[in-house]
Chains A and B, each alone.
Chain A
Amino acid sequence: MPTPVKMPRLGESVAEGTVGTWLKNEGDWVERDESLAEIITDKINAELPSPVAGRLAKILVKTDETVAVGVDIALIEENADVASAPPVAAAPGPDAAPVRSTEQAATPVMESARASVGNGMNRANGATTSRQESPVEEEERQRISPLARRLAHEHDIDLNQIAGTGNGGRVRKEDILAYVAQRQATPVAAPTMPSRPAQPAQTLSLPTYTAYAEPVPPTAPPTTVGADEELVTPSRMRLAIAEHMVRSKRTSPHATTVVEVDMTNIAKWLEKNKQDFRQREGYGISFVPFVMKAVCEGIRKVPMINSSWTPDNKIVIKKHINLGMAVATDAGLVVPTIYDADQFTLAGLAKQISTVAQRARANKLTIQDMQNSTFVVNNPGTFGTIISVPIINQPHAGILSMDSVVKRPVVIEDDAIAVRSMMYLCLSFDHRILDGAGAGGFLQAVRTKLQSYGREIDVY
């Protein structure tokens, strides 16, 4: 039984991927995690590691072909010795979303009915075993009714684009029908075909994004432009960003709070040591690792800032601090992850930032780079801004913007006025999870850490 290799999900809001190059040919032997192919999406290009060791039995999706996330793109036959062994459970891609088996169908009435069986009999046991769900890939599964799945297939809909309104976020009939109605009313929605011919990625229409990006009333006429206007069809990345932003604003009640931080000592240290540091280490250092370090400190004080509100109204607090870092690339905004940011020194963070940013700009981010962030630090200050109100990167609890460090006259101790290097830190937070007190406490901790540095700073 060959193991299917699935199109991975490269980034939160990416629905499709294109096979850039196959790095292996049919018949080749591959090790586990050895690169199989290059995958191109609107966000990043990445090499796809093999989920298992074995022989690449079949390539299902040709070079330059684009398929939805989760679609089988190749089959790998594991060791011939085990060919006669029982079928191996299909190893899904890193973020494949197989369908969860339906929740147990018992009604409360039946539950009480069962409970009332005095002798228990074998009935209860039978019922329990049959309802045990497969433990495989539990957390990644999407809930969907059989009807919704069929309708999605018939309408060529990527289920990952649909937010279910049933219990536990289950996608059900009305979700699909509402989506179809919306899509039909969306002017830029081009007809999609069940099997798409190979096309360059950028010419692919992605109606699935548009519906979310800007919900259009069913009766809205197609957009027309006048002679003095130009109609632009957004790129896939633009649409992906649009979808994410709209979803985030709809999902989280954003509240924003701002503190002012005295960065004078850090600024002076940087001014003095920046050049040496780069020459010595081969990568630069800026305000960003300082802020990240301080953010880790703040998260330790207020762990709730590093959490997620779940669809079933729970809060999941993340033990790892994986900081997303917003990077502007030629193609648009990407937010790669720095794993376990709290484990690095300032220099270590500077190195991480430098390598991740380089990978992003060179379009070389990996699948791993695009996943698992728990909080984002954004640095619009590089564009000279002084106050920014960021939108949360879902499903985080907050996002921090650091703006330009500028010299200002500031009232310091003893009511003296001094020229200090000042910076505003803006925290947008999900008001479901945190109140002003928690957010303020976090910012306070970040500021305290940033202002704690003296003239001499040990970055190692």
Chain B
Amino acid sequence: MSTVTYLEAIGQAIREEMLRDEAVFLLGEDVGTYGGAFKVSAGLLEEFGPERVIDTPMAEAAIIGSAVGAALMGMRPIAEMQFIDFITCGFDQIINMASKMYWRVGMPVPMVIRGPAGGGTKGGPFHSASPEAWFFHTPGIKVVVPSTTYDAKGMLKAAIRDNNPVLYLEHKLLYRLPELREELPTEDYIVPLGKAITRRDGEDMTVLTYGAMVYQCLRAAQTLEQEDDLEVEVIDLRSLSPLDLETILESVKRTNKVLIVHEDTLTGGIGAELSAILAEDLFEYLDGPITRVAAPDVAFPYAPPLEAAYLPNAEKILTAARKLAAY
């Protein structure tokens, strides 16, 4: 049994679900003949044919709109955004159609929108987006962000089987990372949506994070253990909508200090909502200010030195964590 990458795990999930359920199909730009811009769907056109692996025009509103219609008719479409940045072109279809349809007409919309998100690849302002906050704000759509190869496969399968529209964000920096190569179970498995996972136990502080930032947080936590004698708990949220409040609140109640880290910009981000929840529910359990580390409120920069300065990293997390610990 060989190991697979995060990217291959996504491809496996799509293929296995297409084999398992005939209603599942994939549509997007270059997903067929070309096998996807990142080769996620390589070989699928040959295996399933052009009716289930559909190359579309460059029109995200059409891709998502078609997926909404198909889902309403009982299909389970997977709509790929070539880069997640372009999801904005299909915004209306998501906000006004996919997420509201169940409340409006009582018909579920079982569809997945997925695509490569995140920066660190020198992709500049149009190929580095972390768009989760827009959809996190929207009722009626789930938002999930896997950070490991195991989760990438298990959560995509769960997303495809879910009866709600699910936005599934893949971090492109993790696609082929050798460290993330993993031997996956041979049998069918899913990772249920809405469950966070503790990546590292600790009693001195809780770090809430997701996506590629999980690894920056784990690095910072290791330094904090070695240099500061601090045991930091790192929780990988995995599912942003819905949030696993049980896990989050239990941890913060125990550690009494919380640091929130995300790659998305600061204002109105996931961290803002988490802060509000924690302040409301756990005010008297807090031994320090809820602290956020996030990207600054500017457009994603192109120049490599600026990108490096823009992205949160272990060093910035360390600085914030030390300040919070000393509070």
A197 to B34, CA, bound (A): 83
**CB-CB contacts of A119-156 with B at 8 A, as 1s and 0s?**
00101000000000000000000000111111000000
Taking a contact as CB atoms under 8 Å apart, the answer to whether A117 and B292 are in contact is no
Partner-binding segment picked from A41-49, A165-173, A329-337, A425-433? A165-173
State the Cβ distance, B327 to closest chain A Cβ, in Å: 5
Partner-binding segment picked from B3-11, B126-134, B279-287? B279-287
Query: Hey, which chain A residues are within 8 Å of B326, CB to CB?
Result: 166-167
Is B211 on the interface with A (CB-CB < 8 A)?
A: no
Is B294 on the interface with A (CB-CB < 8 A)?
A: yes
Taking a contact as CB atoms under 8 Å apart, the answer to whether A147 and B293 are in contact is no
**CB-CB contacts of A97-111 with B at 8 A, as 1s and 0s?**
000001111011110
CB-contacts of A68-97 with B (<8 A): none
Query: Hey, which chain B residues are within 8 Å of A103, CB to CB?
Result: 289, 327
Is A233 on the interface with B (CB-CB < 8 A)?
A: no
6 nearest A-B pairs in the assembled complex, by CB-CB distance: A105-B289, A113-B296, A107-B320, A150-B284, A147-B287, A173-B287
Query: Hey, which chain A residues are within 8 Å of B316, CB to CB?
Result: 109
Taking a contact as CB atoms under 8 Å apart, the answer to whether A108 and B320 are in contact is yes
A117 to B289, CA, bound (A): 23
The residue among B283, B288, B291 with the most chain A CB atoms within 10 A of its own CB is: B288
Is B56 on the interface with A (CB-CB < 8 A)?
A: no
Contact-residue size bin, chain B (C-beta under 8 Å from the other chain): 20 to 34
A172 to B283, CA, bound (A): 14
Residues of A within 8 A of B (CB): 102-105, 107-110, 112-114, 116-118, 121, 123, 145-150, 166-167, 170, 172-173
Is B26 on the interface with A (CB-CB < 8 A)?
A: no
Query: Hey, which chain A residues are within 8 Å of B287, CB to CB?
Result: 145-148, 172-173
For the complex, would chain A's binding face be called helix, strand, loop or mixed by DSSP majority?
A: helix
User: Which residue of B has the minimal Cβ distance to A117?
Assistant: B297
Q: Please pick, from A107, A116, A170, A172, the residue contacting B291 in the complex, using a CB distance under 8 A.
A: A107
Taking a contact as CB atoms under 8 Å apart, the answer to whether B286 and A145 are in contact is yes
Query: Hey, which chain B residues are within 8 Å of A148, CB to CB?
Result: 287
A103 to B292, CA, bound (A): 15
Query: Hey, which chain A residues are within 8 Å of B266, CB to CB?
Result: 110, 113
Is B312 on the interface with A (CB-CB < 8 A)?
A: yes
State whether A107 and B286 are in contact (beta carbons under 8 Å apart), knowing that A172-B327, A173-B256 are contacts in the complex. Answer: no
State the Cβ distance, A149 to closest chain B Cβ, in Å: 7
Taking a contact as CB atoms under 8 Å apart, the answer to whether B296 and A117 are in contact is yes
Is B247 on the interface with A (CB-CB < 8 A)?
A: no
Query: Hey, which chain A residues are within 8 Å of B320, CB to CB?
Result: 107-110
State the Cβ distance, A173 to closest chain B Cβ, in Å: 4
Taking a contact as CB atoms under 8 Å apart, the answer to whether A117 and B298 are in contact is yes
A145 to B288, CA, bound (A): 6
Q: Please pick, from B284, B293, B298, the residue contacting A146 in the complex, using a CB distance under 8 A.
A: B284
Taking a contact as CB atoms under 8 Å apart, the answer to whether B298 and A167 are in contact is no
A117 to B310, CA, bound (A): 11
